């Protein structure tokens, strides 16, 4: 649309997400969580779905998993403020259950529009829900987190050429401490290398 900046389009998208009723999750959520960060970000983090704290505040990754995510991003040479952070599903599933297939599909157009507007060079997919769907969209096969964490894939999503780094969800490391080492290695190693590449 002539004369329409990214900012206005982004704002419209946020408002659509905030009033969305496309799947059952709108009935139980308190606040939808569209995402946050600069629309000029080169790096996007995509998680699973808002948890209790995120649902209360309407902001992504603000609980314990979010604090760990902020530290992991620093290991990769990123400040949280320079990254766009969102989820594959924008509303909290009741009791933090896994998002269902139809909920992921109903919400996917919002993520695709976020990718089209922000045009990230790198998406860090944290957890199997985001990793599986994003890899499939980019034409790669999903196998398992054990086999694919720490790998970086190239592809195109919504017409945007980008890289997808796969890693564990930070919340998983809170419950299973041995995973924390693997997460830290992924951020300190392969993810940091891609970040250095796209920052130059």
Q: Site residues (CB under 6 A) for ligand URA?
A: 47-51, 54, 60-61, 65-66, 87, 171
Q: Where do we find the tokens 């896994």?
A: 98
Q: How is residue 51 annotated by DSSP?
A: -
Provide, rounded to whole angstroms, the least separation between the CB of residue 34 and ligand URA. 11
Looking at the Cβ atoms of 79 and 193, the one nearer to ligand URA is 79
What does the block give as tokens for 147?
A: 């086999």
Nearer to ligand URA, 4 or 70 (CB): 70
Minimum CB distance to ligand URA smaller for 47 or for 120: 47
Cβ distance to ligand URA smaller for residue 65 or 118: 65
CB-closest chain residue to ligand URA: 47
Separation between Cα atoms, residue 80 and residue 151, nearest integer Å: 22
Tokens of 141: 């096969």
| Shortest CB 7 distance to ligand URA, Å | 23
Nearest to ligand URA of 81, 197 (CB atom):
81
Minimal distance, residue 187 CB to ligand URA, in Å = 16
Shortest distance, CB of residue 61 to ligand URA, whole angstroms?
A: 4
**Shortest CB 50 distance to ligand URA, Å:** 5
Smallest distance from the beta carbon of 5 to ligand URA, in angstroms? 27
Q: Which helix (H) or strand (E) holds 14?
A: helix 6-18
Distance CA 85, CA 80 (A): 8
Alpha-carbon gap, residue 31 to 73, rounded angstroms: 25
Check if the beta carbon of residue 110 is closer than 8 Å to that of residue 90: yes
User: 101 burial class (0-12, 13-18, 19+ CB within 10 angstroms)?
Assistant: exposed
Residue 73 has, within 13 A of its CA and on its CB side, a CA count of 24
Q: For ligand URA, which is the closer residue by CB, 65 or 157?
A: 65
């Amino acid at each position: 649309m002539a004369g329409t900046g990214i900012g206005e389009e982004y704002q419209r998208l946020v408002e659509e997400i905030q009033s969305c009723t496309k799947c059952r999750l709108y009935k139980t959520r308190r606040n939808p969580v569209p995402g946050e960060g600069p629309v000029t970000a080169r790096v996007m983090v995509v998680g699973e779905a808002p948890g209790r704290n995120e649902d209360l505040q309407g902001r992504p990754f603000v609980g314990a998993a979010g604090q760990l995510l902020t530290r992991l991003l620093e290991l990769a040479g990123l400040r949280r403020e320079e990254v766009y952070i969102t989820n594959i599903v924008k509303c909290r599933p009741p009791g933090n259950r896994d998002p269902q297939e139809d909920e992921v599909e109903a919400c996917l157009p919002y993520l695709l529009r976020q990718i089209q507007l922000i045009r990230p060079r790198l998406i860090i997919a944290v957890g199997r829900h985001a990793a599986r769907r994003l890899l499939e969209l980019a034409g790669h096969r999903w196998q398992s987190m054990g086999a694919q964490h720490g790998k970086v894939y190239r592809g195109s999503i919504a017409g945007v050429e980008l890289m997808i780094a796969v890693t564990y969800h930070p919340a998983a490391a809170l419950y299973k401490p041995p995973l924390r080492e693997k997460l830290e290695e992924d951020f300190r190693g392969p993810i940091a290398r891609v970040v250095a590449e796209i920052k130059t």
